[in-house]
Chains A and B, each alone.
Chain A
Amino acid sequence: MSLKDKLVSSYIAFEDHLEDDSPIHDLRNDAIKVFEEKGFPSKKEEAWKYTSLNALLKNDYSVFPSNKSSLELKDVRKYFLHEIDTYKLVFVDGVYNSFLSETTHDSLDVCLLSSALNKTKYKAVIDAYFNKTAVKESLTSLNTAFAKEGAYIHIPKNKEVEKPIEIINFSTGSEAAVLLQPRNLVVVGENAHVQIIERHQSLNGNQVLTNSVTEIFAEKRAYVDFYKIQNDAHTASLIDSTYVSQEQESHCRVHTFSFGGKLTRNNLNFYQKGERCDSTLNGITIIEGKQHVDHNTLVHHIAPNCESHQDYKGIFDENATGVFNGKVYVEKDAQKLDAFQQNNNILVSDKASINSKPQLEIFADDVRCSHGCTIGQLDEDAMFYLQSRGIGKKEARALLMYAFANNVLEGVKIPELKARINKLIANKIGVSLGFAL
């Protein structure tokens, strides 16, 4: 039986177990129909031209993994930003782990989607926001159909959340192949501020496919900083679909650090609905081996006087492959817009490759849209400069790669997280430099 058929037939059993009055009952039924009709995306689709899921779909995934293994904090502590105090939402094989988590209902909600879906006091928020930005695309629909657990974050008006919120999805390898479908809902009220760090971590060498969907709503003047740390095992694959809906004068920034995993696909969609919105989409990709990272971004400008900034840097070694497909869509009312998109890549090996495709669709006549893309090797003049100062080839290469990615790192506003990412980059590049990065 194909994975698609297995999922469709599993859905019936899944839905049977749920309470009939679930507020998203109808959404689920509609969503599974969309998935059933469209199936998994194939390379025939323009948006999936350079990324094939075929090999991944051959695994016999357990759709409802059993949660048998328990995790000790000492074994997984390194995956948390433990240097500072944070709220934590930890899921192990798709199931909430209260022992490792730190939730709150004290002036803001950092809790579970499962309880938000089941308790009447959250019904108004669920009705107003859940699945309201997610498009009827097949993988997102598949996630919606099985949406059951994930992060529920609701920041009320004027609340500045001081502690970052960490969302960590562990998979323990209790089964040979596992399909996980976390679903996160983030609602940031008017003038509220929040920082969120999300991570998927496989702890064993089993096949993990995560089909994650996150919806983020930024109300007027809200500030959202979202960091995605993708440094997973070589057997773990991730399809991340994140939808960001912005109201007037809100600032949303999503930073994606892709350093590992077998196949990673980031569908990052921004919708600017109010005037003077500011969106930032940043990414650093450093991969090697046979890893594949695909960034598929959309910034949909609907309202006037807005800005968007995209800056993606990629370093590809060995046989690694990358895709950048960045679309900027400007509606005719989105005048006085400033949209910027940049994608720079370094191919370290002859066998590495990157497909970079900027797409601009502009229906307004008074806008400034710019885009640029470079694909190259390390600059020989720069190498010579460093070597002539006594710095060896390997270190010189590392220094240049670090310099290349650096400006994206500047956007990380949590110093401890920045230090962590610096360290990850140094490890990835494979040298310890003569100073602390």
Chain B
Amino acid sequence: MLHIKDLHAGVEEKEILKGIDLDVKPGEVHAIMGPNGSGKSTLASVIAGKEEFEIIKGDLEFEGEDISELDPEERAHKGLFLSFQYPVEIPGVSVTNFVKTAINETRKAKGQKDMPAGEMLKKIKEKADLLEIDRKFLSRSLNEGFSGGEKKRNEIFQLAMLEPKLAILDETDSGLDIDALKVVANGVNKLKSKDNAVIVITHYQRLLDYIVPDYVHVLMGGKIVKSGNKELAKELEAKGYDWIKEELV
């Protein structure tokens, strides 16, 4: 599904990603862990197509197609989704209206008609229930005055509504208390199928107790320095990152 090979990317002259290799297949859950400043969020942004990052060299393919030159919205139309660490506030535009716009813009790009209102409402209700989201919440302005937890839950609500093929969750656990974390993780698990995939980016192992990864990768200094299964995450939690650094030396 996602094929990344020897990917180097950065901002202006500064190289942040220094040769990433990553393959994600349908049905898989990958976790990317690493200390602060290792390039985790950059990797998420580069996959999603943030303009300020430049790909210096390497391959970035999604479903067999080179997506490195596509605009973020074109990548979204193909089924990529990034859950933001810091979602942006959009005053005056309700959660519902925003989600409707996002869905219909994607449909438009695919040459489809707008989703019928009845179907849309039904879907909104279903996904809001899944994530235990109050109906009143949906009529509030997008992210405006939301708590950290509400913002993250709203991100996952959008994920549920847009049903992407590949979802990248960037630090979705930060700002969540344990109850909210369980709800969010439960939502993600229910949305998982053999046809879609998830990349979980996180500092801590905590989220991985609930969204169990098939693979765990450690990102350090812009490179994936170690890969393993879920046991690796536990080891990192117990021992920190220093032992990997030592191992590398």
**A residues bordering B, Cβ < 8 Å?**
379-382, 384-393, 395-396, 399-400, 402-403, 406-407, 409-410, 433-435
The smallest beta-carbon distance between A255 and chain B, in angstroms, is: 16
Contact of A407 among B75, B77, B91, B101 (CB under 8 A): B91
For B96, the closest partner residue in chain A by CB is A435
Q: Chain B contact residues (Cβ within 8 angstroms of A): what range?
A: 35 or more
CA–CA, A389 to B91, complex, Å? 17
Does residue B104 face the partner (Cβ distance < 8 Å to A)?
Answer: yes
Closest A-B pairs by Cβ, 9 of them: A406-B92, A387-B72, A390-B76, A434-B101, A390-B106, A389-B102, A385-B88, A382-B88, A435-B97
Does residue B6 face the partner (Cβ distance < 8 Å to A)?
Answer: no
Cβ-defined contact, A390 with B87, below 8 A: no
Does residue B137 face the partner (Cβ distance < 8 Å to A)?
Answer: no
For B164, the closest partner residue in chain A by CB is A390
The smallest beta-carbon distance between A217 and chain B, in angstroms, is: 34
CA–CA, A249 to B88, complex, Å? 39
CA–CA, A388 to B91, complex, Å? 18
The smallest beta-carbon distance between A428 and chain B, in angstroms, is: 15
- 13 residue pairs of the A-B complex, CB under 8 angstroms, read A380-B52, A381-B86, A386-B88, A387-B49, A388-B73, A389-B73, A391-B73, A403-B93, A406-B91, A407-B91, A407-B92, A434-B100, A435-B100
Contact of A395 among B77, B80, B89, B105 (CB under 8 A): B105
**CB-defined contacts of A380 to chain B, threshold 8 Å:** 51-52
**Known A-B contacts A390-B77, A391-B73, A392-B73; A399 and B88 likewise in contact (beta carbons under 8 Å):** no
CA–CA, A433 to B104, complex, Å? 10
**Known A-B contacts A399-B90, A406-B91, A406-B92; A387 and B102 likewise in contact (beta carbons under 8 Å):** no
For A435, the closest partner residue in chain B by CB is B97
**CB-defined contacts of A386 to chain B, threshold 8 Å:** 88, 90
**Known A-B contacts A380-B51, A384-B72, A388-B48; A403 and B101 likewise in contact (beta carbons under 8 Å):** no
Does residue B84 face the partner (Cβ distance < 8 Å to A)?
Answer: yes
**Known A-B contacts A379-B88, A385-B84, A390-B77; A399 and B72 likewise in contact (beta carbons under 8 Å):** no
**CB-defined contacts of B77 to chain A, threshold 8 Å:** 390
The smallest beta-carbon distance between B201 and chain A, in angstroms, is: 15
**Known A-B contacts A387-B73, A389-B102; A434 and B114 likewise in contact (beta carbons under 8 Å):** yes
For A405, the closest partner residue in chain B by CB is B92
The smallest beta-carbon distance between B135 and chain A, in angstroms, is: 18
Does residue B71 face the partner (Cβ distance < 8 Å to A)?
Answer: yes
A interface: dominant SS:
helix
Cβ-defined contact, A391 with B102, below 8 A: yes
Does residue B205 face the partner (Cβ distance < 8 Å to A)?
Answer: no
CA–CA, A127 to B71, complex, Å? 66
Does residue B50 face the partner (Cβ distance < 8 Å to A)?
Answer: yes
CA–CA, A346 to B87, complex, Å? 21
Cβ-defined contact, A391 with B101, below 8 A: yes
- How many Cβ-Cβ contacts under 8 Å join chain A to chain B? 89
A385, A386, A389, A409 — most chain B CB neighbours (10 Å): A389
Cβ-defined contact, A391 with B91, below 8 A: no
The smallest beta-carbon distance between B117 and chain A, in angstroms, is: 11
**CB-defined contacts of A395 to chain B, threshold 8 Å:** 101, 105
Cβ-defined contact, B162 with A393, below 8 A: no
The smallest beta-carbon distance between B184 and chain A, in angstroms, is: 18
Contact of B51 among A384, A396, A402 (CB under 8 A): A384
For A436, the closest partner residue in chain B by CB is B97
For A433, the closest partner residue in chain B by CB is B101
Cβ-defined contact, B88 with A381, below 8 A: yes
**CB-defined contacts of B114 to chain A, threshold 8 Å:** 434
**Known A-B contacts A399-B101, A434-B100; A389 and B90 likewise in contact (beta carbons under 8 Å):** no
The smallest beta-carbon distance between B194 and chain A, in angstroms, is: 24
CA–CA, A4 to B229, complex, Å? 86
**CB-defined contacts of B80 to chain A, threshold 8 Å:** 388
**CB-defined contacts of A387 to chain B, threshold 8 Å:** 49, 71-73, 76
Does residue B202 face the partner (Cβ distance < 8 Å to A)?
Answer: no
Does residue B178 face the partner (Cβ distance < 8 Å to A)?
Answer: no
For B90, the closest partner residue in chain A by CB is A403
CA–CA, A409 to B45, complex, Å? 34
Cβ-defined contact, B88 with A393, below 8 A: no
Cβ-defined contact, A385 with B87, below 8 A: yes
The smallest beta-carbon distance between A437 and chain B, in angstroms, is: 8
The smallest beta-carbon distance between A184 and chain B, in angstroms, is: 32
Q: Given A388-B76, A388-B81, 16 more contacts at CB 8 Å? A: A385-B88, A388-B72, A388-B73, A389-B105, A390-B76, A390-B105, A390-B109, A390-B162, A391-B101, A392-B105, A399-B90, A402-B93, A434-B100, A434-B104, A435-B100, A435-B101
CA–CA, A278 to B169, complex, Å? 47
Does residue B158 face the partner (Cβ distance < 8 Å to A)?
Answer: yes
CA–CA, A191 to B53, complex, Å? 60
**CB-defined contacts of B81 to chain A, threshold 8 Å:** 388
Cβ-defined contact, A384 with B101, below 8 A: no
Cβ-defined contact, A384 with B50, below 8 A: yes
CA–CA, A387 to B100, complex, Å? 14
Cβ-defined contact, A389 with B158, below 8 A: yes
In chain B, positions 46-93 with a C-beta closer than 8 Å to chain A are: 48-52, 71-73, 75-77, 80-82, 84, 86-93
**Known A-B contacts A385-B87, A403-B92, A435-B97; A393 and B76 likewise in contact (beta carbons under 8 Å):** no
CA–CA, A174 to B227, complex, Å? 80
**CB-defined contacts of B87 to chain A, threshold 8 Å:** 385
Cβ-defined contact, B73 with A390, below 8 A: yes
Cβ-defined contact, A402 with B92, below 8 A: yes
CA–CA, A390 to B82, complex, Å? 11
**Known A-B contacts A380-B52, A387-B71; A409 and B162 likewise in contact (beta carbons under 8 Å):** no
CA–CA, A433 to B92, complex, Å? 13
CA–CA, A390 to B101, complex, Å? 9
CA–CA, A407 to B71, complex, Å? 30
Cβ-defined contact, B88 with A389, below 8 A: no
**CB-defined contacts of A403 to chain B, threshold 8 Å:** 89-93
The smallest beta-carbon distance between B165 and chain A, in angstroms, is: 13
**CB-defined contacts of A384 to chain B, threshold 8 Å:** 45, 48-51, 72
CA–CA, A403 to B94, complex, Å? 11
**CB-defined contacts of B98 to chain A, threshold 8 Å:** 389
